[in-house]
Structure formats: structure tokens, C-alpha cells
Structure 1
Amino acid sequence: MLADLPGSTDYGILSPDGETAYLLSDAGRDRPALLAVRRVTGSAGTAARRVEGSAGTAVRGVEGFSGAAARRVEGFSGTAARRPGVTPPDGRHRPAWPGLPGGGPQSYGAAAGREHAVAAERGEAVPTGLEHGVPTGSEHGVPGGRRHGVAAGPEPDGREHVVLAGRDDAELDQFALTPDGRWAVLVWNEHGRSALAVLDTGTGAVTPLPPLPADVVTSIRMSLDGATAVMAAESPDQPSHVLLCDLATGRYEEVAGLGRLAHAPRAELIEFTAHDGLDLAAWLYRPPAVQGPAPYLVYLHGGPEDQERPTFNPLYHNLLAAGIGVLAPNVRGSSGHGRAFREADDRELRFHAIEDVADCAAELVRLGLADPGRLACMGWSYGGYLTLAALVAHPRLFRTGIDVCGMSDFESFYARTEPWIAAAAVGEYGHPEQDRDLLRALSPLRRFDRLEAPLLVVHGVHDTNVPVHEAEQAVRAARARGVVCEELLFPDEGHEIRRPANRAVFVGRVVDWLTHHLVAPHH
């Protein structure tokens, strides 16, 4: 059968008896929640369901049933498919896709305007019978009172979908199930910081646990006796460490890690209003022992649907030690603030996200924190793109910029990136053929005649997500205009800088570059 769910599902695990799947899913909601998909003997199931939303939505499947969750792949041939694995009751983990041990993304072609289901055993995309959203069966509601799809046909053995735990003010980030399936430990994302709660899967009662001694939980598992939650956690002043929580007492214990760093600054969450009235939030790191307005870096995360959270970041520590403050915002399009905010930068709305960067700089100046003549902008991946876009949209706002693995031109990006990435990018940026004018207007390289700020470009030679060609053409264009531009290429890296020696070089080069442009001229 097919377990059809509205929205997207990122993670799931089966109950010990195999009758219930607990899923981390937005379930058609504004924010991710905990969803239970239970067997209902004798009821009619659903073969497929049309999912509302923009074209280019990823196909996600959940392993462990005789079928897999299906998502529409309409609007663009080759829309991305992704199927995260789910641990079966026997503890064995099957590959999410044949030939991809441990799971991973895979592309499946889909004729425009047709839905496809994912066959669990073969990992194939097959038509469901829905064409252009027209069903062959009857409509079905979704728990919660909102209709999110239409049924393509009944299955002899059905499932019911029940939202067990969801909040309007937070997103469910992770969860862990006790071995007997009685309890689930929920990790909520509350404006970027983690908070824990325990769910009784039988009654639905949710009990908050005491505040964590760390800011962000990055992973969680349960002990074999179900009494202890075992977590990896970190904070701006403490690297990743192992944290235990006794569920009966709510007591936390750190059992492995380096401890907190002395005199390390904490992250401050600030909120402000964007140019069009949208509420924005950012993490502020103040440089110690700096009197008056200071040099500041606006750091932009990737994604664009990632989220800046208060985790341990060696780059920030080194910048602060050099007297440079950091503002790390979640501009529109980021996760953690609901679906409407996450989709607020799609396609033509991307121009507003670029203006959000300027709003961040203006807020630093308004608060009296930053010297308006000593501002810099930097970002990785999508953040690198956003950096380039901000530099050409506001040529004199930033004294310098640093692009790390960012796209400079959408035409070349679509032509050279992985097919599954290109397909998934359509909903975010636009179709490479149908939206050619929009993509050209959004491409920083097309406006490099406005570039004035010195630029440092960093890239991994083996990057297949954003190929190094994006960096090379940006460097050529900047130098042709007479703009100071330096290039830092890592011949043994890809889209991320992973090797410790390379990370040290990267951090050192960035700190030196920003110190030269923001601090040294004012000594």
C-alpha cells in the first residue's frame, strides 16, 4: 500500500509491533509535527494524494511499509526524489535507494503535470493515475479539518494519519522513540534553541522537560531500557558533547566533551522588521572589549531553507577575538519560522530576501553596534549567492564581501549542477527555460558592472552542488572590472570544507581578509 501524506516527511521510525509509523512531517501544517500513521483494519486506504504547493517539491518516501509515501512531482521533468530510510523493528537499516548505502537523494524523471508514486521495493517512480491534479477516486479529509489532497483509489488495508504533537510557536526538529514504543522524546526548535518534552504515545499527553544546559540538540537516541535520552548537543561557547537526560527526574548529565570555553560570548537573539514589514530575527555576537560602533560581519547561511542556530562556530570565535562582531540572520526563506516564512523568498520574491540583507546592516547601525563604514557580508552556498546579490544591489553598503561556494549565475548553475539539485531548485528560483528573464535578473553576475567592494571567493574544486565554474567566472568578472578580488580554491574539497587542515586555512584567510578591510585601516 502507499502511506499518503500531505506535505513533506523528513524522518520516521516504526513501532516495535510494526503497526504504527511515527513520522517527522509537516503533515500539511505550517510547522513540522509528530505524525502517527496507524493500521486501520478493514478501512479503505489511499493510493495517492495530490499535494498542494509550488512546483518542484521533493518526492519523499518512508521505508518500512509494503509501499512508500508519495509526493507529487508535477511541473518539471526530473523533479527530485528523496527517500530517507526508516529503521525497521528488527533494527536493520535497509538502503533508502538501491546502490546508495545509507540513503541519499536520487532523481526520477516525471512527465510534467503528472503525479508519481515511489515503489518501495524497486525504488522506481510509477504513475499513480492522477494527471494535472485530476483524481480518479473520491476526496478524503486529513485530520485537523483541512483538506490537503484527493484520493486516487482505496487500498484493502488502510491507515489513519494522526498528528500526535504539534505547536504553532515551534517546529518539531527531532524525536526518539523508546524501545517499547510507549514514550517519545520530542526535540522542539523554539526560535533556534532546542527544548525537550516527553510524549505518551498512548494518551497523547505531552510533558515538558527542564530547560537544556545546551542551546541546540543535534541528534538524539534512547537507551535500551528507555529510561535515558542520549544526545549530542552544542552551544556557541561549547563544542559538540554528549548529554544524558534521565526521563524520570529530568536531570541532565554531561558525559563526554571539552566543557565550556572560558570568556566565550553567548549568542543574543534580536528581532527587527524588514523593509516590507516582515518580522526577521538574527543571532548577534558582540566583540568583547570594543568601545563604540564596531566592525561587523553579516553572515548568511545556506539552503536557502537552512536555519542559523546558536551552535559552536570556530570562525565566529576567531572573528570576535579580532574585534569583529557577527550578525547571523535568518532572512526570509529560512526554516524554523513556519511554511509561509520559508516560502517567502520563492521565485520573484527572491528580491525581497536580497533586501533583507541590507535591512540587517541597517539594524546593526540603528542599534549603535556597527560602524556603517566597516560592514562586511559573507555567506556559504546560497548564502554566497546572497552575498554577491547584496554586493551588486547595494554597491556601497559593504566595505567587502566573501563568497563561499555560492552561485553567481543561474544559467550556468542549472547547466552544470547535479540534475536532482537543478530539479529541486525550480520551485525556489524558477525554471531555467520558462523563467529565463527572472533568473537573469536574479543572477549577480549579470550586474557585476555595479560591483565595487573587494571580494574574496572561496570554493572547493570538486563541488558538484555548485560547480567551481561559478567561482571562476565571478573572479574573472570582478577583475575585469578592476575590483580587488582574491580566490581561495581547495583542490581536495567539494561543497563543504571538511578536512581540519583546510578548515584552519579557511578560517585564517577569512579573518585576515576581514581584519585587513575592516580593522587595519582604522588603527
Structure 2
Amino acid sequence: MDLVKRVLSVRAATTPRRGPGGVLYYLSDVTGHMLLWKFDGGKHDVVLPWDDRIGDYRVSKDGALAFVSDKDGDEKWRLYLADNEVYEISAEGVNNLGAWSPDGLKLAFTSTRDGQSDFNVYVYDRSLRKAEKIAEIPGINVVEEWSEAGVFITHYETNLDSTIYLYKDGQLRELTKHSGEALNHSPRYVGNGKLLFLTNADWEYVGIAQMDLSTGNWKYIVQLDRDIEHFDVWGSYLIFAVNEEGRSGLYQMHIPSGLTYKLASPSGVVTHLDFKDGVLAFSLSSINKGHEVYIYQQGAVRQITHSPKFGAPIHNIPEPASVWYPSFDGRKIQANLYYPPGEAKGVVVYLHGGPESQDRPEFKPLIAALLIAGYAVAAPNYRGSTGFGKTFTHLDDLERRWDAIKDVVAFGKWLESQGIAKKKPCVLGGSYGGYLTLMALATAPEMWSCGVEMVGIFNLVTFLERTAPWRRRYREAEYGSLDKHRELLQQLSPATHVEKIQAPLLVVHGVNDIRVPLYEAEQLVQRLRELGRDVTFIVLPDEGHTITKIHNRVRVYSEVIQFIEKQFSV
């Protein structure tokens, strides 16, 4: 297990942003949890000591730093300002970082500090050390830009439907009015009354659009048959990242002429980019390189961070293969096949969360550790996954969730038919992937050697009743309404089918989980024990929906791999 523990100890660096004087800031967990670091071109250093995880940050014009932090993974983000000293801006409710004013004297953010469900818009004045509410908008809202044109806010009606507002001089104006579902987000004001933003309005995939703020008229300037996920603009040049069957392609475009070319960049998934003064800073995650910060300048890529790998041979992990398999109804489903450096001892089917997400060849410590331990990992992007167009994302809505479950079972059969799984695979997933793990174990009990369920949903009804208040309406948009679809929710719940689960199961859950409360795991474990099933339960008192502490990650994921090895050796 020594190599496994080394892989699970691998550190990461992400979210680069350039501040005054060209100083590069980024987040790194070198110390054991995410802290804010800076690189001045000569040396790297921690910006300030901090006992808890830092989740995000913004740098003002004069170098003041706003950041959010939570405690023991509870995701109740508290907002702080570091300006010669560190002081609290907003600690009640949940706080989302926003944007500095152009002069750097004020900070706009959104918060549930005055309620439980709505992220209203606030402005913090550094000179007064006081926050004032400027706008009330129901639901989830994020301040994304503050320029001379005003404050740009993205409002999410659901996870897949959003609109951009402009706040100026006490007035709130909806910029991206639309009928039907459309994502509109990531506004960037580029001067002369022009706004760039991401949208999939009237299209299957997310592209880049330009709007004339004086008229509200807009048009696509980049429209592809793939999603554009990040972009930034400097002068007349645009940099954007495209989801190319999971991997990221980086492109530069000269906006006036439309001339576009692909940048040479490492293979992996771009997680953030920042483009200023002709210099692109970006973070990229790769299954065999880790998660690092890079600079692209004058046609060359330079790796800026070299996070500790603890001697873990992740560089020996092959690039995953992208395959398409036929599901129960003939529909082709994309999947990633990760192979270990040597011969595989067995196959673990990994089910991603979301479901509005996608398995991509990024660095996931548990997946990397399974590969180094000698297991192949097979990850399907079942119906409901993102990255394959709006229509595909809705193929699991309401009663069609059964089709996503059937996609997983069909994948297990395909792995066997192709000779990839020579013995019964183990199925593993977290959050929604944990839900799907339980449903797969129940609907095809003879197929699996074991299951690992982490922070998953056992009963869709109790989950919706107990999840954080601000999340409920968004999750109901995905799963169904407690008022209208209670019977369907019950039928689609693992709780209704738990008697069919036969394979040994390992359950992992954090006490501080506000997304999927611990009660889901407690119900599951109690019921399985009443049925006399083989179930192991790991409760983490100092974690939430994700494992945020390195020592917990090493310990718990090591136990996960030992559990899987035990089942494959039977």
C-alpha cells in the first residue's frame, strides 16, 4: 500500500490569477489543505497563514485580497479580506465571491446571510468596512464582473438555465431574456458597449456570444459542435478552452478578423484561465501529471508549479482510451477506459456525480491510486451527463432516470463481452454517482463483486427534504418535485430496492455534508444491516460532501482500495 498512499498524497495547484506588478496568485494544498500562494517570478510563498481551506479568491487593483473559507468541509463559505490585516466581511449563511470595483475600493458578492434560500447581491465598502444589500434576486446568483458598465450578475433558474443581469445606478436590467432553456454566464465587458459571454441559446452546445448593450442584440462569434467552457479576453484577442470529448483544447482568436488557431498545450482538462498583457496563465489537471499551473507566452508553455508527487509514479499511467458502447436501446454512450501501467487485476466501474457533469481525464486521486494498485477503471458518461449537448443532458429527466441506470448495467455487460472485465467488476461512485452505484447494485445484483458508495442518495424524498434550502429547487428541477412527483421519486430511490442488493458494500459519508445529509447513509446502512448484508460504514466527523483534508484522503481511500482488493481476492 506504500505506492497507493504516495499517490493519494499527491498535491495540486490551481486557479491562477495575475495581480498588480505581474505577481501570479494561485491555490495549492502543499501544506495539507488549500491555501493562497503567490509567485513573483523568482520564488513561491504562502500569502497568509490560515487554518482552514480557502475555496476561492479575488485580487483588487491595489493588491488587496478577498477570499472565502469553510470549516471541516461544511461548504458554508465565510468571506474575508486581507489588506495589511485580515478581517471578516460576511460569515453568516453561505457567501459567493464576486468582483472588485474598477477602482478596487468595493467588493460585490452574493450571500444568503439574510435568509436561507436566496443569494442576494451585496457591496462591501473597504473604507466603511460595511456591506450593503443592493439587489434582491430569488435563488442562486453570482457576481461575475464589475466594470465601468456596471455589475454583471448571473442568475441560475436551474443548473441548466441561467440569465445575465446588469446592475447600475440602482437599476437591475435583464440582458439575456430567452424562451426555453439556455445557459448564459461568464460575462466579460470589453469596452465600447460590447459584452462577451457564454451561451447555448438556440444551440445544443455552449459558445461565445457578443452583445451590444445599447440594443441588447447579440450574435455568436464562436459556435461549435462542442462546449466552450472557459474564456478570457485581452485587447483584440480571445483565449478559450473547448471540451473535446473530455480533454481540453486551447485556442486563440483575433476577434476583428476571426483568425483562430490551436495552442500547443499539455493533454488534460483546463480548470481555469487568466489572460492579461499577452500572457495566459492556466491550470490543467491530468490523470498522469496531476493538477498544475502553467504560463503560455510567445508560443511556449512553461509549467510554473511542481507540486509534490511523493515519489508516486503517476507518469507511468497511460492516457485513457475514449470508447463508445451500445446501450440497451442501441444508443451509443461514451466512456473512458483507464488502464494500469501493468496487467489489470480487475475492473472498477467509476460513476461520476452530478449528474450534470462528465468523467474527464483529469487527476482524481482515488482513480489514480486504483490504477497504480493494478486495477483498470472504466467510467461511462451515461445519459444526463454534460459535454454531449443539451438534448443528451435531459435524457435522464424524471421517469427516464431508469435509462441512465440501464446505461450503467449495459456498460457492465459490454465490459464483459469485450473481455475487459474477466471477472465481476466493482462499482464505485460519489454523490449522484453513489446513488447510481446503489441502483446498479439493486437492478443487476449478479453483475457486481462489490460496491463503494460515497456521500450518495438513498432516498430521493428524504434527500430533497433535508438538503440545504437554497439547493432544493435546483435539485427538484433534476429529480422531480416533492409535490408533483413524490411517488416517482420513491420508485426511483435505492430505498425501495435495497432488498435486492447482495454484493458487499462500503459506505463513506461526511458529517458536515449540506448537499447530501448524513441521514442518507445512516438509513442505507441500518437497512442493509437489518437484511444481514455485508456493509462497512466510514463516518468522517470533520468532512462534508468532499474529502478536503489530505490525511483523511490517504486514510479513507486506502481503506477503499483494501476493501476492493479483498473482494477481488475472494
- Establish whether TM, by shorter chain, passes 0.5: yes
Offset of 1:265 from its aligned partner? 2.5
The separation in 1 between residues aligned to 2:335 and 2:285, in whole angstroms, is: 18
The separation in 2 between residues aligned to 1:412 and 1:255, in whole angstroms, is: 46
Aligned residue type for 2:519:
H
The match for 2:542 among 492, 500, 513 is 492
Match status 1:514 vs 2:564: yes
- Tell me the residue number matched to 1:62: none
Evaluate the alpha carbon distance shift between residue 287 and residue 498 of structure 1 in structure 2; reply closer, same or farther with a 3 A threshold.
Answer: same
- Alignment of structure 1 residues 146-225 onto 2, 5 Å: 157-168=214-225, 170-178=226-234, 181-203=235-257, 205-223=258-276, 225=277
TM-score, structure 2 normalization: 0.65
The separation in 1 between residues aligned to 2:491 and 2:394, in whole angstroms, is: 19
1:304-353 Cα offsets, whole Å, 9 max, x none, are 10111101122122212332210122111111111111111111110000
- Tell me the residue number matched to 1:26: none
Match status 1:256 vs 2:300: no
Aligned residue type for 1:402:
V
- Tell me the residue number matched to 2:357: 306
Evaluate the alpha carbon distance shift between residue 286 and residue 117 of structure 1 in structure 2; reply closer, same or farther with a 3 A threshold.
Answer: closer
1:198-223 Cα offsets, whole Å, 9 max, x none, are 122333x1412234223111111123
Aligned residue type for 1:94:
L
Contact 1:117 1:125 in 2 (8 A): no
Contact 1:389 1:444 in 2 (8 A): yes
Contact 2:111 2:119 in 1 (8 A): no
Aligned residue type for 1:393:
T
- For the residue of structure 1 that corresponds to 2:346, the secondary structure is strand
Evaluate the alpha carbon distance shift between residue 195 and residue 484 of structure 1 in structure 2; reply closer, same or farther with a 3 A threshold.
Answer: same
- Tell me the residue number matched to 1:472: 522
The separation in 1 between residues aligned to 2:223 and 2:473, in whole angstroms, is: 30
Offset of 1:144 from its aligned partner? 11
Offset of 1:271 from its aligned partner? 1.4
- Tell me the residue number matched to 1:363: 414
Offset of 1:276 from its aligned partner? 1.4
- Tell me the residue number matched to 1:444: 494
The match for 1:317 among 365, 368, 372 is 368
Evaluate the alpha carbon distance shift between residue 209 and residue 485 of structure 1 in structure 2; reply closer, same or farther with a 3 A threshold.
Answer: same
Evaluate the alpha carbon distance shift between residue 338 and residue 277 of structure 1 in structure 2; reply closer, same or farther with a 3 A threshold.
Answer: same
Contact 2:425 2:447 in 1 (8 A): yes
- Tell me the residue number matched to 1:392: 442
- Alignment of structure 1 residues 237-386 onto 2, 5 Å: 237-246=288-297, 248=298, 250-258=299-307, 261-290=314-343, 294-371=345-422, 373-386=423-436
The separation in 2 between residues aligned to 1:166 and 1:435, in whole angstroms, is: 37
The separation in 2 between residues aligned to 1:434 and 1:483, in whole angstroms, is: 34
Evaluate the alpha carbon distance shift between residue 83 and residue 321 of structure 1 in structure 2; reply closer, same or farther with a 3 A threshold.
Answer: closer
- For the residue of structure 2 that corresponds to 1:195, the secondary structure is strand
- For the residue of structure 1 that corresponds to 2:283, the secondary structure is strand
The match for 1:431 among 481, 488, 503 is 481
The separation in 2 between residues aligned to 1:118 and 1:163, in whole angstroms, is: 19
Contact 1:285 1:327 in 2 (8 A): yes
Aligned residue type for 1:172:
I
1:40-99 Cα offsets, whole Å, 9 max, x none, are xxxxxxxxxxxxxxxxxxxxxxxxxxxxxxxxxxxxxxxxx9998466655677333256
Aligned residue type for 1:410:
L
Contact 1:300 1:328 in 2 (8 A): yes
Contact 2:264 2:301 in 1 (8 A): no
Evaluate the alpha carbon distance shift between residue 144 and residue 508 of structure 1 in structure 2; reply closer, same or farther with a 3 A threshold.
Answer: closer
The match for 2:533 among 483, 495, 515 is 483
- For the residue of structure 2 that corresponds to 1:96, the secondary structure is strand
The match for 1:106 among 119, 123, 138 is 119
Stretches of structure 2 that go unaligned for 5 or more consecutive residues are: 1-93, 121-136, 140-156, 181-198, 205-211
Greater strand proportion = 2
The separation in 2 between residues aligned to 1:124 and 1:276, in whole angstroms, is: 51
- For the residue of structure 1 that corresponds to 2:108, the secondary structure is coil
The separation in 1 between residues aligned to 2:247 and 2:420, in whole angstroms, is: 24
Contact 1:244 1:252 in 2 (8 A): yes
- Alignment of structure 1 residues 392-411 onto 2, 5 Å: 392-411=442-461
Contact 1:83 1:105 in 2 (8 A): no
The separation in 1 between residues aligned to 2:434 and 2:531, in whole angstroms, is: 20
The separation in 2 between residues aligned to 1:122 and 1:399, in whole angstroms, is: 62
The separation in 1 between residues aligned to 2:540 and 2:97, in whole angstroms, is: 30
- Alignment of structure 1 residues 76-91 onto 2, 5 Å: 85=98, 89-90=102-103
Query: Among the aligned pairs, what percent are the same residue?
Result: 31
Aligned residue type for 1:239:
G
Contact 2:383 2:396 in 1 (8 A): yes
The separation in 2 between residues aligned to 1:145 and 1:499, in whole angstroms, is: 39
- Tell me the residue number matched to 2:551: 501
TM-score, structure 1 normalization: 0.71
Offset of 1:251 from its aligned partner? 2.2
Aligned residue type for 1:512:
Q
Stretches of structure 1 that go unaligned for 5 or more consecutive residues are: 1-80, 134-142, 149-154
Structure 1 window deviating more from structure 2 (505-514 vs 467-476): it is 505-514
- Alignment of structure 1 residues 109-120 onto 2, 5 Å: 120=167
